[in-house]
Amino acid sequence: MQAEAPQTIYLKDYTPFGWHVESVHLTFRLAPHSTRVLSKIRFAPNPDAPAQTFFLHGEMLKLIAAKIDGAPVTPDVTDEGLTVAVPSGAFLWEAEVEIDPKGNTALEGLYMSNGMYCTQCEAEGFRKITYYPDRPDVMSTFTVRIEGDEKVKLSNGNPQAEGDGFAEWHDPWPKPAYLFALVAGDLVNHPGAFTTMSGKDVELNIWVRPGDEDKCAFGMEALKKSMKWDEEVYGREYDLDIFNIVAVDDFNMGAMENKGLNVFNSSCVLASPETSTDANFERVEAIIAHEYFHNWTGNRITCRDWFQLCLKEGLTVFRDSQFTSDMRSAPVKRISDVIDLRGRQFPEDQGPLSHPVRPESFQEINNFYTATVYEKGAEVIGMLKRLVGDEAYAKALDLYFDRHDGQACTIEDWLKVFEDATGRDLSQFKRWYSQAGTPRVSVSESFADGTYSLTFRQETTPTPGQPEKAPQVIPLAVGLLNPNGDEVLPTTLLEFNQSEQTFNFNGFAAKPVPSLLRGFSAPVVLDRDAGREEQAFLLAHDTDTFTRWDAGRQLARETLVDMILTGATPDMAYIDGLEAVLRDETLDPAYRALMMGTPSQSELAQVLADRGHVPDPDAIWQAAETLAQVKAERWTDLLPRLAAEAEVTGTYSPDAEQSARRALGAAVLSLQTRLDGGAAAEAQFARADNMTLQLSALSNLIRAGRDEAALKAFEDQWRGDRLVMDKWFGLQIAATTPEKVVPRTEALTAHPAFDWKNPNRFRAVMGAMMTHHAGFHSADGAGYRLLADWLIRLDDVNPQTTARMCQAFQTWRRYDAGRQETIRTELERIRSKQKLSRDVDEMVSRILG
């Protein structure tokens, strides 16, 4: 229960701050429980702003003293900030405050992690460091002095001076406070260097706790590749003498793009073959790129207000996906992104938490770092690029950087750049930013006199606060195939922008087969009930790697739905069609591994709900099991062939080629385990010399119920490595059978190493439970209760992470009355907690609707 009704903030209420900040000087006197922060801030009236009271944000601060132009003042202080009378012209504000980094468990502002000081200021953490206009449109240069005994003391910008017990930094680039960072501790560095395209030398460092030095080399290479790529592809050069990355164990998110001083969750930067999987390596490379790319898309050009978050995040995710596609396999990256979008963003967009890519109101901005803002935001940019073409996209981006460098911008600014560069009217396209929900596109076809016609209809169901939806501009990439499998229309872009629209294609002797939504050209649900024959045909013949994969996926989905609803046996047309693809050795092993996957159980639950059925998690689990078993039994001669192809010789490398083989190997092992009860997995576990093989072996041993010795051995081997132990905690839950999920989770929370205040460990355990569909949704409600118990406990310590994990309940209305009732009770129980955070209150209230 919130003490006071939380305040809602609206996009339409934006007003500029009444003053410019000309410069900021900060001095930090570090002490774990009583750090002093001295600020000297020069303010000058902003002639473009309406008259207003001078207000500075400030939370959890003890104000020691304040002065204006050297004279002591006594401001009016509340829990949220202060007001004070100020001169009509420019003035110098000085304040001294005391803060408690060690007592800061929320990990926002200045806090401590393993004895090291670090900060997290996005979105509104700077106000927990000192009094300030903590809003992204207030930009200033910062000079920072850090006083303390720590060996390493870092802040943004370039080093300016260093001496006994102090270090000074100056950042010449004006920035909003959310990009401020400070790190101090006894850290060691992995050094590197980069020469920019104009010949400037940049010092690079990855700073870690002693003992982690050997896990930095991969991250350093990724950083250099990112710097080079941004020069080559976007013409963007780095702009300081030094670029520092720091690894922190306690961090709410993945990483943070603070100017010149990126702070990373250690799980997103540290990597070594023994301790990291191929997927971890790829993620490290992508996140390093993402944070680095923010230097231009986010830092040099920032957001006017937090409603514009997608301006930096959508664009930066889009850029990091382009980077990964260039570094690795583009088709595999695209398919993985779509799996992720359908798995995380679609449920969000189709449930009670649905919001536009640019939200129009919020209570707690931390709740809007979502898959919609990030991943759908990136899809919107991909659509824009497709619509205007690659050349015009490049031209528009050059214009964006030219026109808006040093500014805090809006989505209107962004779209105007495209309009000016291309002459296009993007007013309808803008609905992608304002309209929430996933459009559903249905298709019908006709063929007469050599003309083939496709008629599309679009519909978006109402979302919270948006009962009516208008048609959107949907770029549909389509191709057509002859009945013999030849492509007769290469990929063509249709601009589908009305509720219903027909497109004609002439000159065909026979009715062609359509390949629709190639490359997943728009984030929509395509409803096409074309029958399995057509899907099997596309699985065999489509030239587009995405739609070919998706045809297999749809066949898998349809057979699973049949099995769930009618108890049917698996469709052999699917299994045999898939087998033909798997036998094609010209196809990338990673692509074939993706082909072997099936829709997640949660996705199947959504499909059933969409078709008017109440999903039964146990039946879904059972169908998935049966399908895998049938594949395994059918493919007894195929599996050893694939296993041989998946063999990697030579030294481990996390590159695309080797990881592809291991991905195929893992898919094969999971079927093989169904035939041999875990013998092959046990052998692999015994000989594994890298984490990818060790973990896939362990996962199968867990699944086969043959895990006692392996889990013990793994724990003995890795008890000293916190990131590997996160895997150990999570996998025992994620890979087990439904009935063991809750008891195991409960047992693991009693494990001495279950440090629940560490977000990585908490997520490893609770995140694994909530994503095990059949386990979490066990009919007795034990999963719901256990999660709610822990969320109630964590809220006092870390509201941000607690609020994010409430998402586990967002799909509650899909399920039967009994489950709905239990979930509602648990959500109400959370909501009635004493001193509930604003973060969790907002999430639970939205989920309950």
In what helix (H) or strand (E) does residue 65 lie, and over which residues does it extend? strand 62-68
Instruction: In whole angstroms, give the CA distance from residue 101 to residue 181.
Output: 14
Q: Which of 147, 150, 291, 682 is catalytic?
A: 291
Classify each residue of 818-847 as buried b or exposed e, where b means 16 or more C-beta atoms within 10 Å of its C-beta: ebeebbbebbebbbebeebbbbbbbbbebb
Write down the least CB distance from residue 685 to ligand 0A1, Å: 35
Sign of CA dihedral 235, 238, 244, 248: negative
List % helix, strand, coil for the chain (3-state, nearest 5).
Answer: 45, 20, 35
Strand 525-527 with 182-185, pairing: unpaired
Per-residue binding string, ligand 0A1, 653-692, x by CB under 6 A, is ----------------------------------------
Piece in contact with ligand 0A1 (CB under 6 A), picked from 116-124, 126-134, 216-224, 496-504: 116-124
Helix (H, G, I), strand (E, B), or coil: what is residue 42? strand
Structure tokens given for 288: 């390093």
Write down the least CB distance from residue 259 to ligand 0A1, Å: 12
* Count of CA atoms in the C-beta half-sphere (13 A) of 45: 10
* C-beta nearest to ligand 0A1: residue: 253
Task: Rule CB under 6 A: say whether 134 interacts with ligand 0A1.
Answer: no
Task: Rule CB under 6 A: say whether 372 interacts with ligand 0A1.
Answer: no
Report how many residues bind ligand 0A1 under the rule CB under 6 A. Answer: 14
**Which one, 316 or 435, has the nearer CB to Zn ion?**
316
Write down the least CB distance from residue 369 to Zn ion, Å: 9
Write down the least CB distance from residue 348 to ligand 0A1, Å: 17
Per-residue binding string, ligand 0A1, 808-847, x by CB under 6 A, is ----------------------------------------
Residue 291: active-site member: yes
Sign of CA dihedral 99, 105, 109, 114: positive
Task: Rule CB under 6 A: say whether 369 interacts with ligand 0A1.
Answer: yes
Sign of CA dihedral 713, 719, 720, 723: positive
Write down the least CB distance from residue 292 to ligand 0A1, Å: 10
Piece in contact with ligand 0A1 (CB under 6 A), picked from 118-126, 379-387, 403-411, 424-432: 118-126
**Which one, 104 or 497, has the nearer CB to ligand 0A1?**
104
Of ligand 0A1, Zn ion, none, which one does residue 703 interact with (CB within 5 to 8 Å by kind)? none
**Which one, 288 or 704, has the nearer CB to ligand 0A1?**
288
**Which one, 181 or 594, has the nearer CB to ligand 0A1?**
181
As a three-state string, the secondary structure of 767-834 is HHHHHCHHHHCCCCCHHHHHHHHHHHHHHCCCHHHHHHHHHHHCCHHHCCHHHHHHHHHHHHHHHCCC
Piece in contact with ligand 0A1 (CB under 6 A), picked from 156-164, 255-263, 577-585, 649-657: 255-263
Of Zn ion, ligand 0A1, none, which one does residue 695 interact with (CB within 5 to 8 Å by kind)? none
For the segment 304-333, give every residue that binds Zn ion (CB under 5 A). Answer: 313, 316
According to CB under 6 A, which one of 37, 240, 245, 255 is a site residue for ligand 0A1? 255
In what helix (H) or strand (E) does residue 839 lie, and over which residues does it extend? helix 838-848
Of Zn ion, ligand 0A1, none, which one does residue 252 interact with (CB within 5 to 8 Å by kind)? ligand 0A1
Write down the least CB distance from residue 374 to ligand 0A1, Å: 7
For the segment 267-296, give every residue that binds ligand 0A1 (CB under 6 A). Answer: 290-291
Write down the least CB distance from residue 293 to Zn ion, Å: 8
**Which one, 263 or 516, has the nearer CB to ligand 0A1?**
263
Of ligand 0A1, Zn ion, none, which one does residue 366 interact with (CB within 5 to 8 Å by kind)? ligand 0A1
Task: Rule CB under 6 A: say whether 252 interacts with ligand 0A1.
Answer: yes
According to CB under 6 A, which one of 155, 244, 366, 798 is a site residue for ligand 0A1? 366
CA–chain centroid gap for 708, Å, is: 34
According to CB under 6 A, which one of 56, 86, 123, 595 is a site residue for ligand 0A1? 123
Write down the least CB distance from residue 409 to ligand 0A1, Å: 16
Structure tokens given for 386: 């497709």
According to CB under 6 A, which one of 59, 122, 212, 795 is a site residue for ligand 0A1? 122
DSSP state, residue 132: B
User: By the 8 A CB rule, do 172 and 158 touch?
Assistant: yes
Task: Rule CB under 6 A: say whether 120 interacts with ligand 0A1.
Answer: yes
Instruction: In whole angstroms, give the CA distance from residue 192 to residue 288.
Output: 14
Write down the least CB distance from residue 233 to ligand 0A1, Å: 19
Write down the least CB distance from residue 375 to Zn ion, Å: 11
Instruction: In whole angstroms, give the CA distance from residue 269 to residue 260.
Output: 16
AA letter at 286: A
Structure tokens given for 658: 């080797």
For the segment 657-686, give every residue that binds Zn ion (CB under 5 A). Answer: none
- By CB atoms closer than 10 A (0-12, 13-18, 19+), residue 789 is middle
Instruction: In whole angstroms, give the CA distance from residue 767 to residue 105.
Output: 20
Of ligand 0A1, Zn ion, none, which one does residue 324 interact with (CB within 5 to 8 Å by kind)? none
Instruction: In whole angstroms, give the CA distance from residue 825 to residue 831.
Output: 10
**Which one, 262 or 316, has the nearer CB to Zn ion?**
316
- How many angstroms separate the Cα of 293 from the Cα of each of 140, 251, 366, 439, 758? 21, 20, 21, 30, 28
Task: Rule CB under 6 A: say whether 59 interacts with ligand 0A1.
Answer: no
**Which one, 20 or 175, has the nearer CB to ligand 0A1?**
175
Of ligand 0A1, Zn ion, none, which one does residue 256 interact with (CB within 5 to 8 Å by kind)? ligand 0A1
DSSP state, residue 345: I
Write down the least CB distance from residue 789 to ligand 0A1, Å: 25
- By CB atoms closer than 10 A (0-12, 13-18, 19+), residue 222 is buried
As beta bridge partners, residue 446 has: 453
Structure tokens given for 125: 């953490």
The residues, ordered by sequence, that sit 6+ positions from 136 with a Cβ below 8 Å of its Cβ are: 176, 178, 302, 303, 304, 305, 306, 408
User: By the 8 A CB rule, do 219 and 265 touch?
Assistant: no
Task: Rule CB under 6 A: say whether 253 interacts with ligand 0A1.
Answer: yes
According to CB under 6 A, which one of 61, 154, 182, 256 is a site residue for ligand 0A1? 256
Task: Rule CB under 6 A: say whether 249 interacts with ligand 0A1.
Answer: no
Instruction: In whole angstroms, give the CA distance from residue 606 to residue 600.
Output: 10
Instruction: In whole angstroms, give the CA distance from residue 245 to residue 156.
Output: 11
For the segment 299-318, give every residue that binds ligand 0A1 (CB under 6 A). Answer: 313
Task: Rule CB under 6 A: say whether 94 interacts with ligand 0A1.
Answer: no
Write down the least CB distance from residue 362 to ligand 0A1, Å: 13
| Contact positions vs Zn ion (CB under 5 A) | 313, 316
Q: Which residues are catalytic?
A: 291
Binding site residues, ligand 0A1, CB under 6 A:
120, 122-123, 252-257, 290-291, 313, 366, 369
